[in-house]
Amino acid sequence: MRIFLNQNPYDNNVRRHLIEKHLELHQSAEAHAEFASYKKLDPHLNVDGGNALQMRLDMLDGKFGAAKHLALKLLTVAQLGAEDRYRAHLTLGDLAYVRFTSGDAVSRYKKALSVKPVPEAKHRLARAYLQNKKYGRAQGILSDLIGVGYASDPVRYDYLQSLLEAGQNQAAALRLSQWYSEEPGNPWIVTAHARFLLSLGQDESARMILQQYAEIYQPTTEIDELLRSTQPQRTPTAETVMVLGLRPEMPVNAGVVRGAASAGEVAGKQAMESSLSPRHWQMQAVAGYQMINNRVEGQGFNSLLSPEAGYVAGVAAETDNEGSAYSFVGRARTSWQTYKIPSGLQQNGDRSQAFDIAGGLQTLLAADWQLQMQLNYRSRSGIESATNTYVSGYQMLGVQAGVSKTWQLRFPWSFEVHADLTLPVYFTESTAESGQLRFGYFSSLQALAQYPLREGLAFRAGLGLVRNEIQFNGNGSRGVTDATDSEEGLMIPVSLTWVY
């Protein structure tokens, strides 16, 4: 019997903490050895967080294509455990950052933050803003991190960079003085403070700071070079790196994983160039078969039952909305159906055509549910086979709300449930047979199984139920009073999902 666990049993496991520590210290061999033992207990990485460790190992080893492949494959499942989903977005953000596509990095980091609002992701988001020259936004995030105690050297370096790049030299000087008074033994702060004073022409003050450090601590190579320097830099922050020096990769006074792009990752930028995508999209090609009974009832009108059968085809798309936790979603589909009215009023082979288009926003709710809010336009026409002319139809504009959730089964299978409800705000009949709209709704419920075929491509298939009802007031053009048009039936949807 297989047991599904609701919580990650490795959250407090010594082995997992050891792996994470080795990853932070760039100890690849040790991390792989511990991870091999980890997989003996969870060979398929079914427990939330296992795939996150795999992606971090791939990034550490420079296997950027493998990390991207795993991240995209996991995200085609749509819903994962929080840790795996967070790390997948963070990994794609890191890859976009190294490729200097800061807009994509911002979008990915915001998605990661919507899953886990942690300082690690906020710091990465600030660096992406810096790369995009949005210094004000970066300063706001970094200042907040420093204010709550997340003040590692990389965070403070990036904060100073945001000030200097924005020309706020006085604010940078005040910050450096404050940090130097708090940590006179921190070599990076001493070096940055001295370089900044040299850039302002305050050579003696800079030399005094460097000499005081050298008398008490073991001076670094950079401090020795500055002490021997006879011609200090005097260009006020024109080249920020001349003031700040090299960015500290590992923190001195606070725990934080390394920055999104270490020197090794930057050096490997060309190696992974071909494996990176310019922007995240999700496209679906949708097809299906449906069998629906259409019932028309009303005073002065015989009750008619129209069994319909036909095909549906269309496309759907989703794209990240940079700067928010929302994404844009949309769809367009059309259907062809044939129907028969048993009373014999119509000939066999009469058919109907329908068109459905929708667009709006999607966001993540609690418990891994997705919410979609869209505007929906639908039109439908009945065509008489004998004359090939339109005999009835309607046009509708409505508001649609939908929810969906995906459960991970035995990897890589997943199972999704989707439900939606559309309420008309505008409805008109082409022949005015039924009178004025009183109330109506369109609804569907689908259950789908999904299987990833290859990188970024997944296949889905399942069953669905349809229930639509339109109620009318008053008399129509043929004297029908208080008519009700209802549809209910079964559909078999299939789709191919492409993520890039």
Q: Are 465 and 428 in contact (CB under 8 A)?
A: no
24 φ, ψ to 5°? -65, -35
Name the phi and psi angles at 72, rounded to 5: -65, -40
What pairing do the DSSP bridges indicate for beta strands 481-499 and 370-384? Answer: unpaired
Is the model more confident about 137 or about 10? Answer: 137
pLDDT at 359: 94
| Per-residue model confidence (pLDDT) at position 420 | 96
Which residues touch 36 (CB under 8 Å, ≥6 apart)? Answer: none
Which has more pLDDT, 348 or 309? 309
Q: What is the mean pLDDT of residues 235-254?
A: 48
Does one domain contain both 158 and 95? no
Q: Are residues 440 and 319 in the same domain?
A: yes
- DSSP secondary structure letter of residue 346: S
Q: What is the CATH number of the domain that holds 238?
A: 1.25.40
> Which phi and psi angles does 381 have, rounded to 5°?
-135, 140
Same domain? 490 vs 349: yes
182 and 119 both lie in a single domain = no
Same domain, 18 and 99: yes
List C-alpha distances in Å: 320 to 109, 111, 338: 11, 9, 39
Q: Are residues 270 and 292 part of one domain?
A: no
The answer on pLDDT for 274 being more than 70 is no
Residue 143 sits in the same domain as residue 162: no
Six token digits for residue 333: 């589909």
Highest mean pLDDT: which range of 72-81, 195-204, 258-267, 442-451:
442-451
Q: Whole-prediction pTM value?
A: 0.48
User: Domain total for the chain?
Assistant: 3
> Nearest to residue 154, comparing CAs of 110, 132, 124?
124
Co-location of 146 and 173 in the same domain: no
Q: Residue for token digits 């930057």?
A: 266
Q: What is the CATH number of the domain that holds 451?
A: 2.40.128.100
Count the helix, strand and coil residues of the chain and give each as a percent rounded to the nearest 5: 35, 35, 30
Kindly state whether residues 39 and 56 are assigned to the same domain. Answer: yes
Judgement on whether residues 195 and 324 belong to the same structural domain of the protein: no
Residues 174 and 233 in one domain: yes
Please answer whether residues 374 and 360 qualify as being in contact, where contact means their C-beta atoms are separated by less than 8 angstroms.
Answer: yes
For residue 228, what are the domain limits?
152-255
Structural tokens at position 1: 């019997």
